[in-house]
Each structure stands twice: as C-alpha cells, then as structure tokens.
Amino acid sequence: MPLDETLLPHLWAEISRRGGARFIGLHTIGSHWEYDTRYPPSFERFGSGKGLSYLSALNEKSDPRVLDSYDNSVAYTDWFLGQLIEQARQLNVPTTVTYIAITARTCTHWTATPGTVLRPTPSTNSTSRRLSG
C-alpha cells in the first residue's frame, strides 16, 4: 500500500488550480495496522517493527515492536499533517485543515488524562516517548 505522502503532489496540483471555492478531502491510511508499513524507513525513530505479524498485535504479552511501529506511524502522520498545514498557510484565501482520526491503538500499558503527556504506568519498564524533530 502506498504511503500517505503520495497524495501530496495531487493536493498541490489541486490547490494550484484557479477557480471558485472548493472542498478537498483526503483519505489517508494513517496509523492502521500493519503499522510497520505506514511510514518510510526515515521515520523509524522508536525501533523497528520488522517481522511483525497480526498475531503480534493480538498477543496478550505485548511485543514492543508493535508499540514502536505504531509510534513511528504516528510520527509520520504528524509530519504529513505538518505538510498540509504549511501548504494551507501559503494560501491567500480562508482555509481550514481538519483531521479526523477514526481509529487508535489501545496501549493498555500507557495511562494519561486529557491534556497531559502519556506516561508509563508504574507496572511497566517502558519509558516516556517524546518526538523530536
């Protein structure tokens, strides 16, 4: 399956067209399973998801590669959305960029309350994850 960034040239072409007001919708893959195929190698920041299978994600004993590859896919989605926002800032007309995530990974060993940074629960050996970039 192609990466979300393959949509960007099509978006740029549509934005450059002259004409009246319009709605442009993009349907991205985002962070759906198979996470390790949702980002290019340059976004492998938290570890590799290579060799994962569907059973890896369903196993009660969490394979750290599942969370690593999921986090990598979120970092890639963040970059992709940044590309959209930066392009929208270049326009000389009122513009809105709206992102609706329709799914999320349940990371049972992470706890957080709204508006806070995810922190590991005391029962895990996980460390906090922070994107830098």
Q: Please tell me the predicted confidence (pLDDT) of residue 84.
A: 93
CA–CA separation, 59 and 56 (whole Å): 5
pLDDT in tens, 71-86: 999 999 999 999 999 9
User: Which carries the bigger pLDDT value, residue 129 or residue 51?
Assistant: 51
In the chain, where do the E strands start and end? 110-111, 119-120
CA–CA separation, 82 and 80 (whole Å): 5
Tell me the CA distances in angstroms from 41 to 53, 127, 133, one per residue in order.
18, 22, 15
Is pLDDT of 88 > 60?
yes
Model's pTM, two decimal places?
0.73
SS3 of residue 10 by DSSP = helix
> What's the mean pLDDT in 12-23?
84
Helix and strand element counts for the chain (H, E)? 3, 2
> What's the mean pLDDT in 76-98?
91
